[in-house]
Amino acid sequence: MAKIPHKWIVLFAVLLGTFTIILNNSMLNPGVPHLMDVFDADAVATGWVITIFMVTMGITMPLTGYLGDKFGKKNLYLFGLLLFVLGSILGSMSWNLSSLILFRGLQGIGGGFIMPLSLVFLFEVFEKRERGMAMGIWGIAAMMAPTIGPTLGGVIIELGTWQWLFLCNVPTGVLGLIFSSIYLKKSKPNKNITFDGSGFVTVTIGVGSVLFALGRISELAHLTNPVNISLIVIGFAALALFVKIENGKEQPLLDLSIFKIKPYTISIWIGIVSSISLFGGIFLIPLLVQNVYGYGAIMTGLVFLPSALLMGLCMTIGGRILDKRGPSGVVTAGLALSFTGTIMFGFISMETALWVLFALNALRGIGMGFSMMPSTTTGMNAIPEQMISRGSAMNNVLRQMSSALGIVFMSVYFEVRRAQVMGANGMSLEEASLKAITEGFIVISVLLLVSIPAGWVLGREVKKHDAREKSA
């Protein structure tokens, strides 16, 4: 180990935590029907196994900046990873659905601390000119896990028992604890920092309500449910109040002045669009492969595999290009490739060969690899070092919400549009499903198309920002 530079060991340590958390959450999605049988529960109750993780993780993330400064970032990261491992062990021992949901909530709290702090540790040990490459490697874990998780989860359910969905986290989680405790740099706690109680209450209600509502919506009827409508209204009202409160605080929970830094704001937009595209595709492609073309879960996983591998490879390559040439070319090209792969999904037919799905999804993976992490790195590089933890927390919260929004929008659109097509045109279920899916991809592609110029604007704003810093 002595021959390996310290920064690469730090990268490996945070990769262990990040990959374990994201992989575990995506592995559980195909396990929900099985858990319904195990605990003799309906889909709504069992869906809480997924929803509670998303909600507790989302409401914990805004706290990482304050708690990291108050108690030390390393201490908070280790605490979060310990909570996640503990939640995994207890989750495997669950005696009923309520206990399983409780332990999943514990996992979510741990994950909410780990995800934002992972980026903070990388930015501490890598210089600006190396961060693109480092973030590209980190992004392999962050973006590949959602694509391979469902397949792995399906295999575990088919060949083993549901407990292994939780127990498989323990070895990598413990290894992450060991490496992190030894190699992460210990920061000095700031005892003078004050807690923004009103900001915490409003952002918790806001983020929690919106994520909870999104987790409850999977069909059109859910959109008109009074509870869901109330949750969304309360959530956005609380977030609006949060913004007003934070702008008047000397020590805000989340410093919203960060959005005045244009490269950061543009990178957030690209991250939101990319997350909607990624998770919208993760929802639609299994429906396409299984419901339309009649293949099984294993083939679905294989369709995602080239995309996941190429996404990881291109994140690393894209990071290197970013470090040498800046964001304009690589991010713009990535968004353009994502658009191309996505819009072509909109024109497939019942006769389309399976290899075409592999190729188009691979093209989407290449595009996302070139655009997502390079844009995020660029935005984070533009903010002051003392704001990295809060900037990372904001980034993660917005990605979490946009990922949930992408799945909800696609699921509702698919259900409504399929029913309309079948009723009006007398199509078969497979034909109606195909039309709804292809139109869903076209909707996503429009969002990507209007975002392509953001890559070029990001590069221009970075040059202006760097010029101002040099002249200051």
pLDDT interval class at 1 (50, 70, 90): very low
Contact 87, 106 (CB under 8 A): yes
What is the mean predicted confidence (pLDDT) over 294-304?
78
pLDDT over threshold 60, residue 450: yes
The CATH label, of 1.10.10.10, 1.20.1250.20, 1.10.760.10, 1.10.1740.10, for the domain at 255-471 is 1.20.1250.20
Lowest-confidence segment of 93-102, 175-184, 187-196, 202-211 by average pLDDT = 187-196
pLDDT over threshold 90, residue 345: yes
List the structure tokens of 244.
């007003």
Helix axes 262-286, 327-345, angle to 10 degrees: 30
Percent of the chain with pLDDT over 90: 35
pLDDT interval class at 466 (50, 70, 90): confident
Lowest-confidence segment of 133-142, 206-215, 245-254 by average pLDDT = 133-142
Contact 199, 246 (CB under 8 A): yes
Name the residue ranges covered by the structural domains of the chain. 1-185, 195-250, 255-471
- Residue listed under structure tokens 């490879």: 313
pLDDT interval class at 387 (50, 70, 90): confident
* Angle at the Cα of 64 from the Cα atoms of 280 and 389, rounded to 5 degrees: 85
* 50-81 pLDDT per residue, tens: 878 888 888 898 888 889 888 889 999 999 99
Query: Same fold for the domain at 1-185 and the one at 255-471?
Result: yes
Look at residues 388, 374, 342 and name the one whose alpha carbon lies nearest to residue 119.
388
Q: What is the mean pLDDT of the chain?
A: 86
Question: What is the pLDDT, as a whole number, of residue 378?
Answer: 92
Domain 1-185 listed as CATH 1.20.1250.20: yes
CA–CA separation, 91 and 166 (whole Å): 6
pLDDT over threshold 70, residue 183: yes
